[in-house]
């Protein structure tokens, strides 16, 4: 099992039932993992729509949804919806692939972007700690009523997860 698969499984285990997004290479595997573990995926035509739909879903249902976006421009496209959710203290989790190579056309400072709009930036930093970091992101979203950006660095997503 890869880290991306473990992240999808962990979010489903936390109780995530619905994800909204636009699939790209940076979030393809984690989105498929969500679906494989019973999370309903609602495809949007634009990342901004996905973030806005997730915000509305959270407010109306009282459940924590996921927004799944491609790294860099996929995340920037979702920024207005993320900002509205963050300013309104909507509990939701934004999963974004993260290009860590500064030479990549998709590289941006995703932590700074999240902070600038009031979201909480978090990151999966290792295969070993991935599930615990997902659980912490979910705890922050629910317990602190925050919009959390959970960055998923591409090399870590592809790594083997030491499944239990």
Average pLDDT over residues 16-21: 98
Name the architecture of domain 3-135: 3-Layer(aba) Sandwich (3.40)
Residues in contact with 147: Cβ distance below 8 Å, sequence separation at least 6, in sequence order: 82, 85, 86, 89, 90, 91, 92, 93, 94, 118, 119, 120, 141
Task: Give the model confidence (pLDDT) of 105-133 as tens digits.
Answer: 899 999 999 999 999 999 999 999 999 99
pLDDT at 81 over 70: yes
As given in the structure block, the two tokens for residue 66 are 């996921």
pLDDT at 163 over 90: no
pTM for the model stands at 0.96
Residues in contact with 39: Cβ distance below 8 Å, sequence separation at least 6, in sequence order: 8, 11, 12, 16, 17, 18, 19, 66
pLDDT confidence of residue 39: 98
The residue extents of the domains of the chain are: 3-135
Question: Which value, to the nearest 10 degrees, does the dihedral of the CA atoms of residues 138, 6, 71, 52 take?
Answer: -40
pLDDT confidence of residue 164: 53
């Amino acid at each position: 099992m890869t880290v991306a698969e473990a992240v999808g499984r962990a979010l489903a285990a936390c109780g995530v039932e619905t994800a909204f997004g636009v699939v790209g290479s940076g979030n393809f595997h984690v989105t498929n993992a969500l679906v494989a573990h019973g999370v309903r995926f609602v495809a949007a035509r634009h990342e901004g729509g996905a973030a806005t739909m997730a915000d509305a879903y959270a407010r109306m249902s009282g459940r924590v949804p996921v927004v799944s976006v491609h790294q860099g421009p996929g995340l920037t496209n979702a920024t207005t919806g993320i900002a509205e959710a963050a300013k309104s203290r909507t509990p939701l989790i934004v999963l974004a692939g993260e290009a860590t190579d500064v030479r990549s056309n998709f590289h941006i400072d995703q932590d700074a972007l999240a902070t600038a709009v009031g979201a909480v930036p978090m990151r999966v930093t290792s295969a070993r700690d991935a599930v615990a970091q997902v659980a912490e992101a979910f705890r922050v979203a629910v317990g602190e009523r925050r919009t959390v950006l959970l960055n998923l660095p591409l090399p870590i997503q592809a790594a083997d997860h030491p499944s239990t």
